[in-house]
Structure 1
């Protein structure tokens, strides 16, 4: 295993295991670089509208970063631990997020679209939201937000780019156009894209992004990084062997890591 840049921990409210357990699991599995990337506190909703267990409370963020930095130092020489955050892209809240990120010495920040008008499209507890919405309209708005996230300059990498497909709601006739438009804008923005193995464990049974998207991105030289999106220590690096094989098949020869918000190449050997 080379890298796993997407993991979550007990502070986020919907994962189990502390930070050190994830590091120890990564060492056991031969991961060379592990990214700690818990969910950013939710900034765009009042407390009474936040679904329980969605993200770490704001008051926990300093303790999270402090603990992650201490573990980075403790395990130096055994594994390269990166201190990161998975941040939400919410239109109109970019500067609020920018101000928050500037307070901490992150190695990298994942930018993900989870919420559309307060509805978490990635949460299995909120699946009823699809019952009253048109899938084509939802996907169109989702990818519009992804493109805005790419253009924002806030993020080092974009998380689970086509996660909108997670529960099978994909408008076939419209989808290809949305993908092509998004890939071209991501290329122009110069931002990295995460290949997230967690989709292999969901109804879509496919990593995020899809093989089709990866082929399109390779043709436009879009840089990639890789993550398991583990929410339990045992899922660290889960599915990454499949992801690495796929990347080689579609023509990628490098992935990327991050230090102090700077991107560097890692050869896929």
Structure 2
């Protein structure tokens, strides 16, 4: 079974990704037999981390993320790739991954409403302004918080992200497991019990999606983000929309383990979706 689509791809605009262009990723996708690719460069909005996160790579140089001229170039790159390649062979979607931060909803809304995104993925990357997606910063955060404290903080932020109604889908829902399991142990596998269900019900009520993110396997975990148990809870809570993404930050990661994620969703009776103009459609 070949991977057929990838809905979480970081081109060279993301400073934590290799400097590969939209077109390079599209050509790689064609070579792999992908039918659809969605780019999701980072957008971070936490003012406390302005000197850390608020940059993109533009023309090989660091560029302030809040100077939105980079988004103009991003959409130009998308259109150029679409015009150079046959849309019947590869559908190219313009997405964005937003690192949600409380109190920054108006900033996010202004950006996503002023550009023609196909897909806006909302993610919790930081807790108390420390990145839990970073090994270095995770060690600082988890050294001063136990599993219950960390997850209470994470799910409160997630609840507010969902209630903001800004996003089409929630990315790598249990991201706290990425480094947290090494630092706090397997207690993180079940700490969501009793906390996550109301959030999943709200996701379902809003017809939002959940991403199955395969990057966890590259980082030594044995399950995707989120875990199979959380996907079962999502199904029980009425979530209908699911996407799959490799979270690729380099060409070699494009489509990684997507076939396994799609197969797992099929076995659970859950439908993989794509997005166009921010509207979901079964794939």
Change over 3 Å in CA distance of 1:174–1:81 after alignment to 2: same
Structure 2 counterpart SS, 1:138:
helix
| Contact 1:160 1:196 survives alignment (8 Å) | yes
1:229 matched to 2:247? The reply is yes
Structure 2 counterpart SS, 1:45:
helix
Normalising by structure 2, we get a TM-score of 0.86
1:147-172, Cα deviation, whole Å (9 max, x unpaired)? 21112111111111111111114445
The CA distance in 2 between the partners of 1:12 and 1:211, in whole Å, is 29
The CA distance in 2 between the partners of 1:61 and 1:171, in whole Å, is 37
1:186-226, Cα deviation, whole Å (9 max, x unpaired)? 22232111111111112333211110011122233311011
1:250 matched to 2:249? The reply is no
1:125 matched to 2:136? The reply is yes
Q: 2:84 aligns with which of 67, 74, 78?
A: 74
Alignment correspondent of 1:12 = 14
Alignment correspondent of 2:102 = 91
| Contact 1:69 1:83 survives alignment (8 Å) | no
Normalising by structure 1, we get a TM-score of 0.90
1:242 deviation in Å?
A: 1.2
The CA distance in 2 between the partners of 1:205 and 1:132, in whole Å, is 26
1:185 deviation in Å?
A: 2.6
1:74 deviation in Å?
A: 2.5
Alignment correspondent of 1:143 = 155
1:183 matched to 2:196? The reply is no
* Number of aligned positions between the proteins: 265
Q: 1:57 aligns with which of 38, 57, 64?
A: 64
1:159 matched to 2:161? The reply is no
The CA distance in 2 between the partners of 1:51 and 1:125, in whole Å, is 18
